[in-house]
Structure 1
């Protein structure tokens, strides 16, 4: 055990030092160093009741759902250990446990709520065998790392077992796929609402995860998520899920679940599944009823928000942060822009993905998305920028009928040049999608007095 104690004390000291130097940074490093000293570091913590450990995993929504679950539980007086900073590999979880443990490695908490990377879940589970897991969705994402969703299904099948309770997205077929393996499955859902949509036959559906025939979607609440059925084997979303978000009122920013009225902290459609999943975890696993959880929605602020507004001269720039390896978050952003029928400029800066070498240019996800509602929504002009992907982005717009005359192509990441093009727009209503590092440079440009 001396290796464990030495690793623990080092992790604690590193955590303190990093916090003093740069608050909010270094969420992986202390845990990674501890694991280098003691490869079984996470196994050796004391007093963890695995029936109180909840993993939250999936392609989209795991950070927001983890943040909301933790917020609700804390608001109701529960002691929580969580990795809120989003360090969701084994090193990040080790860091969180080390921070909260005593000098002898003892932990005292009501619940352990961890966001977990879906690909690396088997490595995490080997040291922290949680008995509960929420699966948000399993979709096309980061093909350089993940290949395709079936690869992630195989990874999760290494973990899901008959001792587990699963919280499953009722309208996401791959999430539902695991229902027959678990000890208990609980389903959360979102009803058809004002921003639900359908797709034409030109856009691909997905294969049934059970029989591999085409699925039929009656409608989508989020891209690839909605009421579905397989007409060949009968696999389908449940008509009566356990936790159903209903009566979504975008004007009042409210919704209902189990006859309780909730305030929407964020009225973006993909957040509704995060709300439903979080409430299912809190009620079914932690005993916090929807009525007890409702108050926490009034002051919930998501960490690492996906939507920000900048003011530049007389223009409002609405930035939507997306995962640029993922069609679902791009489709959500397109739908939000399309819902604004006033005149606007749309600036698209899609990029080379450079998680690790070899870097690659991934544009397939844009062809999985339906741009037509955006094209028909009163766009004055499009700006396609970025050194390597600008022409691919412009081509995608042309394929959906956008005239070349209203597209500006800039094969550059020069911030001043980007703002020079924004200056030319007659409208003051600007929508922006780009890499977070470019957005941060744009913020500094404005803060530096360039407006």
Structure 2
């Protein structure tokens, strides 16, 4: 009875939310319902755990979940997925309540859930999926996650031989989960025009098996690429089961198993999302690589390399990154460095304010190689935002950038930001900052300022 009360309560809240804003995602109903029945998720009926997959990891889980769901639906499959909700237990409860009957029965071909890597053991406890795709385990949100090895231990707590794991072949921590089961599918990305190397001064992860140094042949994205442990020989597979090949960023195409795909978004880190999604769709849901091709033509997810603002005579290319995370920052730096035209580069990193106490840890920038950018014809650098602007400037100085080329403004004021951009001789402007700041800048232009 407790389950039914929780279910009906969730459905009532979902109904009210739908009246206020149809299609709006929220985990509120699941959060409230779990207070009525804390074990609510395990009480839903009609879920075949062999048809459930969790998609987790530091980067790429949202994009991969969206793409997998899109491919399956385009191929006629019925899918329950938390695309609108959150990736914690309340988010799962919300979507299950939405999609179930009044008695809690669900009917779907597949259940595809994005899941937060830290809290996944709590979700698995009530929903023991037999399939899981792991994108990567990287440094990220140290206030919440500590270090990647902490998350690694969280995931190992429920791994078992029954699970089918879809593992990133070129990320050492992720691939090492192979030891828990014989049911493993590896996916990867071959070397492409934006693969790069970093010298010995930059850190790599310790081998997850013997804790000695891991060497990378090169990086396809930061901290990901073909690797070998210098001590025990643990390494990436020479030929993963699924691999993105023949990447052509100019024409936005790639191949998998000799099938040619249009590239919806030409970001290097998205290639792993494509590879993993295709592996999962074929082996988990029976949708062949060939049958997945048309779905890539209609996939909508996030922006491409950059969004563009036009302000007076300036073209501002906004590059969205995930702050606290070196991987997306390195990709952005590489893209800017590849433009050899004169440019101004604006960095607006912020204090992290997920929850109190706020902090300004900027370790992630020291994992990244700024040298190619520093050597790529930058007229000047503009470091803004309260507090963090000084750390940003110091990171540039440590890379050898002359302090005379760096302007620092300890402010978040949009007008001040534009005034500094106006002073640049070049019209070629690159911008890295929070989405909130970018949206304010966009609104500032739209209002005719």
Q: Which interval holds the TM-score relative to the shorter structure?
A: over 0.9
After superposing the two structures, state which structure 1 stretch, 388-397 or 429-438, moved more.
429-438
Structure 1 Cα separation of the partners of residues 418 and 177 of structure 2: 48
Structure 2 Cα separation of the partners of residues 9 and 405 of structure 1: 64
Q: What is the CA-CA distance between 1:28 and the residue it aligns to?
A: 1.3
User: Partner residue of 1:140?
Assistant: 139
User: Partner residue of 1:73?
Assistant: 72
Contact persistence 1:309–1:318 (CA under 8 A): yes
Q: What is the CA-CA distance between 1:19 and the residue it aligns to?
A: 3.1
SS state at 2:47 partner: coil
Counterpart check, 1:293 vs 2:283: no
SS state at 1:269 partner: coil
Structure 2 Cα separation of the partners of residues 106 and 157 of structure 1: 31
Deviations 1:78-121 (A, max 9, x none): 11111113611111111111111111111111111100000000
Aligned length: 449
Contact persistence 1:67–1:303 (CA under 8 A): no
Contact persistence 2:265–2:303 (CA under 8 A): no
Deviations 1:411-450 (A, max 9, x none): 1111111111111122222211112222222122122221
Counting only pairs closer than 5 Å after superposition, residues 135-284 of structure 1 correspond to structure 2 as 135-284=134-283
Contact persistence 1:63–1:86 (CA under 8 A): no
Structure 1 Cα separation of the partners of residues 305 and 117 of structure 2: 21
Structure 2 unmatched ranges of 5 or more: none
Counting only pairs closer than 5 Å after superposition, residues 394-409 of structure 1 correspond to structure 2 as 394-409=393-408
Q: What is the CA-CA distance between 1:144 and the residue it aligns to?
A: 0.7
Residue 338 to residue 306, structure 1, CA distance change in 2 (3 Å): closer
Deviations 1:330-368 (A, max 9, x none): 111111111222222111011111111111111111001
Aligned-CA RMSD value: 1.3
Structure 1 Cα separation of the partners of residues 240 and 304 of structure 2: 29
Structure 1 Cα separation of the partners of residues 127 and 437 of structure 2: 37
Counterpart check, 1:359 vs 2:371: no
User: Partner residue of 1:111?
Assistant: 110
User: Partner residue of 1:38?
Assistant: 37
Structure 1 Cα separation of the partners of residues 435 and 302 of structure 2: 15
Q: What is the CA-CA distance between 1:16 and the residue it aligns to?
A: 2.6
User: Partner residue of 1:94?
Assistant: 93
User: Partner residue of 1:341?
Assistant: 340
Q: What is the CA-CA distance between 1:26 and the residue it aligns to?
A: 4.9
SS state at 2:162 partner: coil
Structure 2 Cα separation of the partners of residues 323 and 35 of structure 1: 30
Residue 86 to residue 309, structure 1, CA distance change in 2 (3 Å): farther
Q: What is the CA-CA distance between 1:304 and the residue it aligns to?
A: 7.4
Contact persistence 2:170–2:226 (CA under 8 A): yes
Contact persistence 1:121–1:159 (CA under 8 A): no
User: Partner residue of 2:26?
Assistant: 27
Structure 2 Cα separation of the partners of residues 265 and 148 of structure 1: 32
Counterpart check, 1:125 vs 2:124: yes
SS state at 2:17 partner: helix
Q: TM-score if structure 1 supplies the norm length?
A: 0.97
User: Partner residue of 1:58?
Assistant: 57
SS state at 2:92 partner: helix
Structure 1 Cα separation of the partners of residues 304 and 41 of structure 2: 30
Over 6 Å off, 4+ runs: none
Structure 1 Cα separation of the partners of residues 19 and 99 of structure 2: 17
Residue 24 to residue 311, structure 1, CA distance change in 2 (3 Å): farther
SS state at 2:187 partner: strand
Contact persistence 2:267–2:305 (CA under 8 A): no
Residue 19 to residue 343, structure 1, CA distance change in 2 (3 Å): farther
Deviations 1:173-206 (A, max 9, x none): 0001100102411000100111100001111122
Residue 110 to residue 123, structure 1, CA distance change in 2 (3 Å): same
Residue 9 to residue 306, structure 1, CA distance change in 2 (3 Å): farther
After superposing the two structures, state which structure 1 stretch, 22-31 or 285-294, moved more.
22-31
SS state at 1:233 partner: coil
Structure 2 Cα separation of the partners of residues 95 and 336 of structure 1: 39
Contact persistence 2:350–2:434 (CA under 8 A): yes
User: Partner residue of 2:392?
Assistant: 393
Structure 2 Cα separation of the partners of residues 210 and 395 of structure 1: 36
Residue 259 to residue 304, structure 1, CA distance change in 2 (3 Å): closer
